[in-house]
């Protein structure tokens, strides 16, 4: 065994261990999907404030909100709360079994997870109480807020939520009371519709008609905006899915009628002439992706942080967005650098490798692949939700983008997700990996294997199935078009659509 192979074996063993650990750790993390559903519910609640005399929007309002929006919202919040309670019980069980001395890092991570889950449950209960009083269930709401005060009292970090629960209880108990600092507490610890409902009750008790009228005007504007956002978030994917189903039905009927001459048949697809062997593929994946992303880059950034004393968590929105973009660009530069050095001895490459051709129908392939991927990935995601029950983690960029309010930061996130990621990942996973695997596997096998590795590389258990399906569509589009621009376009459209949905959903959390 050569020294290079020995190094690759050691790094591969380390890669399997670290990637496996990251995937297992993601099991204790909540999926962003639960938060997306809550954010969509919050938009629905904001839209309920729409005036009944606004005839132009009433039909859309009824179609989107349903017959009992408050009851539906309460059920959604209760479901998320149950998931959070299960996660808290699981985290506390793991924490009890973890030796602080033997697993200091794991212990700290579990403690942070426990604290986040406790705060989440308290936040959910604050909102649930408001949903209950709006449905006339005042006594139930008072019990809900009393539970928040009881659970938060021994935890100093939850003191603001304890005080907010006390303020809410005082507003609806009989007789009501007006506590000091009620308004700033409600504004700080409640969002959107929930904040408006609480402030409305406060202003009525204080007999502040001017403040109440101003609040109602803001509610009306927010309701109209929420309805438009819901129409985009819900309507565009539905339209895209209908187009996608049409494309899939066309491909299926063509395969049934034409067999080997259909687009779905890849048995006769031309393989790439691969001048290197599997060791080069192994080297690029382990050194270019794993070593750079999991060892070298974190080590360099850790040294820079210790020298500068700068912590990413202390940065503002723009700072965090720039940090993420810089981190990704360094990963891409390192990965593509290893790729270049690995295949340089085989230059000039045979025709067809890493083809980026502005001519041809690459736009059609990219758009068609995007629409075809929509119903497939959404279907798999629904099944995936049943499997993981809200656990399994998500891409860490998504929650940051969801909560982002700064336009410049969101633009930087767009550069990362819609431009940098598609270019780097398509060159590596489709342009290099898929094409190289055709030396050893049939084309469909190369597409499948490269898609699984593409999904695992995102290090979230809950994303493995959906990203594998997306990767297979990306691979199919690349094989058929023989142009990386087509899969880059598809990838960019997918990430852009996700980012747009997050921005629209997140916009409904303020006033």
* pLDDT tens digits for range 435-462: 999 998 989 999 999 999 999 988 888 8
Query: What DSSP string describes 343-364?
Result: HGGGPSPPTTTT---SSSSHHH
Q: How far apart are the first and last CA of the chain?
A: 65
Task: Tell me what the mean pLDDT of segment 322-348 comes to.
Answer: 91
Residue 364 has pLDDT above 50, yes or no: yes
Say if residues 30 and 391 touch (Cβ distance below 8 Å): yes
3-state SS class at 207: coil
What pLDDT is stored for residue 446 in this prediction? 92
Q: Provide the mean pLDDT of the chain.
A: 83
Least confident of 179-183, 309-313, 481-485: 309-313
Range of 12-26, 335-349, 457-471 with top mean pLDDT: 335-349
**What mean pLDDT comes out for the span 118-142?**
92
Torsion sign, CA atoms 245, 246, 247, 252: positive
What is the percent of the chain with per-residue pLDDT over 90, rounded to a whole number? 35
d(Cα 29, Cα 252) in Å, to the nearest integer? 38
Cis peptide before 72 (omega within 30 of 0): no
Q: What is the pLDDT of residue 167?
A: 93
Q: What is the pTM of this model?
A: 0.80
> Picking from 234-238, 290-294, 302-306, 425-429, which range would have the lowest pLDDT averaged per residue?
302-306
Q: What is the DSSP letter of 391?
A: B
61-70, 162-171, 447-456: which range is least confident on average?
61-70
The predicted model gives 381-385 an average pLDDT of 81
Is 87:30 a contact under the CB 8 Å cutoff? yes
Which pLDDT band holds residue 141 (cuts at 50, 70, 90)? very high
Residue of 490, 481, 482, 271 whose CA lies nearest to 376 = 490
Question: Between these two residues, 5 and 195, which has the higher pLDDT value?
Answer: 195
Task: Flag whether pLDDT at 120 surpasses 60.
Answer: yes
Confidence category of residue 102, pLDDT binned at 50, 70, 90:
very low
- Separation CA 404–CA 319 (nearest Å): 12
Angle between helical axes of 182-189 and 192-206 (0-180°, round to 10): 170
Cis peptide before 348 (omega within 30 of 0): yes
Going by C-alpha positions, the residue among 509, 511, 504 that lies closest to residue 228 is: 504
Crossing angle, helix 209-258 and helix 192-206, to 10 degrees? 160
Q: How far apart are CA 300 and CA 309, in angstroms?
A: 14
Residue 158 — very low, low, confident or very high, per pLDDT cuts 50/70/90?
A: confident
Q: Give the CA distances from residue 492 to residues 286, 428, 451, in Å, rounded to whole numbers and listed in that order.
A: 25, 15, 17
Q: What is the mean pLDDT of residues 453-473?
A: 89
pLDDT at residue 391 tops 70:
no
Position 394 pLDDT exceeds 80: no
């Amino acid at each position: 065994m050569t020294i290079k192979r020995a190094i690759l074996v050691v790094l591969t063993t380390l890669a399997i261990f670290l990637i496996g650990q990251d995937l297992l750790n993601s099991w204790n993390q909540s999926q962003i999907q639960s938060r997306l559903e809550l954010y969509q519910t919050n938009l629905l609640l904001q839209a309920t404030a729409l005036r009944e005399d606004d005839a132009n929007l009433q039909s859309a309002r009824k179609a989107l909100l349903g017959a009992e929006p408050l009851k539906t919202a309460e059920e959604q919040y209760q479901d998320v709360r149950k998931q959070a309670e299960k996660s808290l019980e699981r985290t506390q069980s793991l924490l009890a079994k973890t030796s602080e001395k033997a697993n200091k890092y794991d212990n700290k991570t579990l403690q942070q997870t426990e604290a986040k889950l406790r705060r989440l449950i308290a936040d959910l209960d604050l909102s649930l109480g408001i949903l209950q009083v709006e449905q006339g269930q005042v006594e139930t709401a008072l019990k809900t807020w009393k539970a928040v005060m009881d659970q938060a009292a021994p935890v100093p970090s939850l003191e603001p939520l304890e005080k907010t629960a006390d303020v809410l209880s005082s507003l609806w108990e009989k007789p009501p009371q007006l506590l000091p600092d009620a308004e700033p507490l409600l504004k700080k610890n409640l969002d959107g519709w929930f904040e408006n409902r609480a402030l409305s009750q406060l202003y009525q008790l204080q007999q502040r008609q001017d403040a109440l009228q101003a609040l109602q005007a803001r509610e009306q504007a927010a309701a109209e905006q929420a309805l438009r956002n819901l129409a985009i978030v819900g309507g565009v994917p539905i339209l895209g899915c209908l187009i996608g189903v049409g494309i899939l039905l066309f491909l299926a009927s063509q395969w049934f009628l034409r067999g080997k001459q259909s687009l779905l048949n890849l048995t006769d697809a031309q393989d790439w002439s691969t001048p290197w062997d599997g060791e080069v593929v192994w080297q690029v994946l382990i050194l270019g992706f794993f070593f750079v992303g999991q060892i070298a880059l974190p080590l360099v950034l850790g040294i820079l942080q210790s020298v500068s004393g700068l912590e990413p968590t202390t940065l503002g929105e723009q700072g965090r967005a720039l940090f993420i973009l810089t981190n990704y660009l360094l990963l891409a530069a390192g990965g593509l650098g290893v790729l270049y050095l690995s295949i340089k001895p085989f230059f000039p490459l045979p025709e067809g490798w890493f083809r980026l051709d502005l001519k041809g129908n690459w736009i059609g392939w990219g758009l068609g692949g995007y629409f075809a991927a929509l119903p497939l990935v959404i279907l798999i995601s629904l099944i995936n939700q049943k499997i993981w029950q809200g656990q399994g983690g998500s891409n860490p960029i998504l929650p940051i983008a969801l909560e982002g309010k700064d336009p410049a930061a969101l633009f930087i996130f767009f550069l990362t997700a819609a431009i940098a990621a598609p270019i780097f990942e398509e060159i590596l996973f489709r342009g290099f990996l898929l094409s190289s695997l055709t030396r050893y596997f049939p084309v469909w096998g190369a597409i499948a294997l490269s898609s699984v590795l593409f999904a695992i590389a995102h290090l979230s258990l809950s994303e493995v199935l959906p990203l594998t399906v997306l990767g297979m569509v990306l691979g199919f589009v690349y094989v058929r078009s023989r142009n990386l621009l087509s899969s880059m376009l598809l990838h960019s459209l997918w990430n852009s659509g996700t980012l747009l949905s997050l921005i629209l959903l997140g916009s409904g959390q303020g006033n």
